[in-house]
Amino acid sequence: MHEITKLPEMRAWSRAERAKGRRIGVVPTMGSLHEGHLRLVDRARDRGDRVVLSLFVNPLQFGPQEDFARYPRNLARDRGLAAQREVDCLFAPDTAAMYAAEPLVRVSPGPLGETFEGAARPGHFAGVLTVVAKLFHIVEPDLAVFGRKDYQQALLVRQMVQDLDFPVEIDVAPTVRELDGLALSSRNAYLDPDQRRAALALSRALRAVEQAWRGGEANPAVLERRGLEVLKTPGVTPEYLAVVSETLQPVKQADARSVVVIAARVGPTRLIDNVVLGEGVANDVSVRGA
Ligand code: PAF
């Protein structure tokens, strides 16, 4: 596995591989890798010839009160996991390499970046899209793979690629869950055992909405009330639960393409999750003890 920290070196490696006719897939991450990230690597490998895993905790996408400083970082462990999964190139720049100075120009996410996660985390999606745009310019991939767990992020990346004509195919992979339903997230590392148990309320609420919908209920307000009943458990502070269209717009009637998006605090930790009603939580990937 090549390990690269410098931008020009990354670009040169990618260009050399493409010159040999190889299709390059990138998996952008902030490290602290778990099985969810590694499944993205598998998809990139299935759909291309070379896999670049980027690993960069992007300060631009954290608010001043957020967890940038304590975000879990473990390069040695991540390196081992990436090598085991046969990543071809680990791109792990430091902050000075990515941002010689704080960028004055940022990618504006537009109205889709103002709702849900964008409303809760002002500036977050401008930070995400700016770093993803930079990664696309540095790696020049043919394909980029994102997880559906960050539904709004994936939607915004697709929108950016379309609106700004990036020649990159975007693939969005199903959420990976532990067997009890908890969606994998690097932030799960913050949860103590009681909080870990309480966090199951998110996937339970998604299942409850899905069941009610499969039982014939299509009124989004009724479905949302059902989800909130399940989400409101001791130790969990709901932030939002909404039944919306695939582009996160309000719907009059829920259908198979509708998405249930959810955010809640479990103790101090903010978690998000979602399900596409027609696909269902059970159709996400389940893994043991990730
Ligand atoms: O999903 C993430 O880990 C980050 O938002 C991303 C896409 C790597 C950008 O920093």
Q: What is the pLDDT of residues 134-159, one digit of tens each?
A: 999 999 999 999 999 999 999 999 99
29 CA to centre of ligand 1 in angstroms: 5
Tell me which of 26, 27, 30 to substitute to probe ligand 1's pocket, judged by most ligand atoms within 8 Å of the beta carbon.
Answer: 30
Q: Whose CA is nearest to atom 2 of ligand 1?
A: 29
- CATH 3.30.1300.10 domain range(s) in the chain: 179-282
Per-residue model confidence (pLDDT) at position 290: 62
> Is the pLDDT reported for residue 198 higher than 80?
yes
- CATH number of this structure's domain 179-282: 3.30.1300.10
- Catalytic member of 34, 37, 124, 137: 37
Q: Cβ contacts of residue 105 below 8 Å, gap of 6+?
A: none
Tens-place pLDDT, residues 40-93: 999 999 999 999 999 999 999 999 999 999 999 999 999 999 999 999 999 999
227: its two tokens: 């989800």
Question: Measured on CA atoms in the order 44, 121, 99, 169, is the torsion positive or negative?
Answer: positive
Q: Is the minimum distance from the CB of 61 to ligand 1 under 6 angstroms?
A: yes
Q: Whose CA is nearest to atom 9 of ligand 1?
A: 128
Per-residue model confidence (pLDDT) at position 252: 98
Tens-place pLDDT, residues 18-38: 999 999 999 999 999 999 999
Per-residue model confidence (pLDDT) at position 288: 80
**Number of other CB atoms surrounding residue 17 within 10 Å:** 18
214 CA to centre of ligand 1 in angstroms: 33
Q: Is the minimum distance from the CB of 144 to ligand 1 under 6 angstroms?
A: no
Q: Is the minimum distance from the CB of 185 to ligand 1 under 6 angstroms?
A: no
> Residue 164, class by beta-carbon neighbours within 10 Å (0-12 exposed, 13-18 middle, 19+ buried)?
exposed
Q: Which CATH number fits domain 2-173: 3.40.50.620, 3.10.180.10, 3.90.245.10, 3.40.50.2300?
A: 3.40.50.620
Question: Measured on CA atoms in the order 204, 209, 212, 216, is the torsion positive or negative?
Answer: negative
Using CA atoms, how far residue 89 sits from 24, 27, 33, 170, in Å, is: 10, 11, 15, 19
Give the mean pLDDT of 225-242.
98
Q: 97-109 b/e with 16+ CB inside 10 Å = b?
A: ebbeeeeeebbeb
Give the mean pLDDT of 112-129.
98
Answer yes or no: are the C-beta atoms of 270 and 187 closer than 8 Å.
Answer: yes
Cα–Cα dist 82/100, whole Å: 27
Q: Is there a catalytic annotation at residue 37?
A: yes
3-class secondary structure, 176: strand
Q: Is the minimum distance from the CB of 131 to ligand 1 under 6 angstroms?
A: yes
Closest approach atom of ligand 1 to CA 186 = 3
> Residue 234, class by beta-carbon neighbours within 10 Å (0-12 exposed, 13-18 middle, 19+ buried)?
exposed
Query: Taking Cα atoms as reference points, which of 28, 26, 87 lies closest to residue 56?
Result: 28
Q: Is the minimum distance from the CB of 139 to ligand 1 under 6 angstroms?
A: no
30 CA to centre of ligand 1 in angstroms: 6
Per-residue model confidence (pLDDT) at position 251: 98
- CATH 3.40.50.620 domain range(s) in the chain: 2-173
